[in-house]
Structure 1
Amino acid sequence: MWATLQQGLPAQGVMNVTTWAQHQAQMASTPEVLVTSFINQPSQQSIDLNALSGEVSYEFIVHFATDRSNSLAILGLRNNSIGLNTVWSLRFEQYSSNGKLGATKYGAADHTFTAVNGQSINSPYGDPVHIVFLARGSNSEVWVNGVQVGQISGQSMLINDPATPLGINEGTVQGVEGIYGFAAIIARCRRMKSQQVIKKR
């Protein structure tokens, strides 16, 4: 699979969202939602995740060159003034975590992932990256470029609001920084691997 996905990829350090989207369409569990437009504004796109339940994955292709705000939420939001509460939000960088991946359950806790297998849960600023937030059983996992790096034990995240905001919902980005691809998938049974839509420098 590695060799297949490597074919036709762009220059080193550049994202190929089209290749990733085509790969998603060929999987046994196809996405409930697939977004390939460039996202770099707060709540830029409202997406219907109402069909999601049970074990789900939220996959992103993102590029954030540097930490500009010490917090970066990319999916989900609570805004009481408009009656919006997605219960969870996914965070490329958790608030007040010193640059760690996380997820917030509104009204309960700002969770930071716990590293597994000697991996780093540092927010992967720098090169473009493929990142997956995955609910499995009673736990939540995070995978970076095909490797599980962290887990939140005893907390299974689920964002399935019919008007879930996708965007830079907390934090600051500049220029070409943002979300280049997003997919929400139910019960992905395959082993998580990097889609290899990104060539590392």
Structure 2
Amino acid sequence: MTAKRTPREVLAESRRRDSREKRSKVLAVVDEMAARGDTVSFAAVAKAAGVSNWLVYAEGVREHIEAARKKQAGQPRREAQAGRSSSAASLATDLELSKQQITALRTERDQLKTALQRQLGQQLDQVGAAGLVARVDELTRQHAELTAERDALRQEKAELEGRLVEAEEDLAAARSSLRRMIRAENAGPAAAT
């Protein structure tokens, strides 16, 4: 016959069984995460297994998680060989291609900017040209009017100069005549005989 167990013993046995189940669940979760390629960390394992953080740090479990982490630390080389991550040469090539693309885009931007400036300049020239044509027409009309006015003033000046010459000749004749009259008057009646 089996000895009757005390409640204390029953409770201790139940706790040990629960601990073994949780530990085996944690170990299974670690193996699954490593097989899927998920990053193995203490917090991620605790969350995935649904256990407390202290259990994943407990002796017997901690070593298993650390071993899985070390194994994952050596995997980047295998991932690069399998094509899952980029090698340094691949990244350098991508960087160089990106630089070339940036240079090409900058050149294209500068060309588009220059073309836009030319187009805007032409539009301004066309808008300004209409105003300039009107201004040139106005100045041409004013020039014609001023030229006609100048010619009229020149003709008037020539006429006035001609009249002045005639007036001076008339004045000189009048002075000469006046002098003769004054001499004749001064000479008196005796000169008249």
Same fold (TM over 0.5): no
Instruction: Find the structure with the greater CA-based Rg.
Output: 2
TM-score range, shorter chain: under 0.3
- Bigger strand fraction: 1
Task: Give the alignment's TM-score, normalised by structure 2.
Answer: 0.15
Task: Give the alignment's TM-score, normalised by structure 1.
Answer: 0.15
Higher relative contact order (CA 8 A, sep 6+): 1
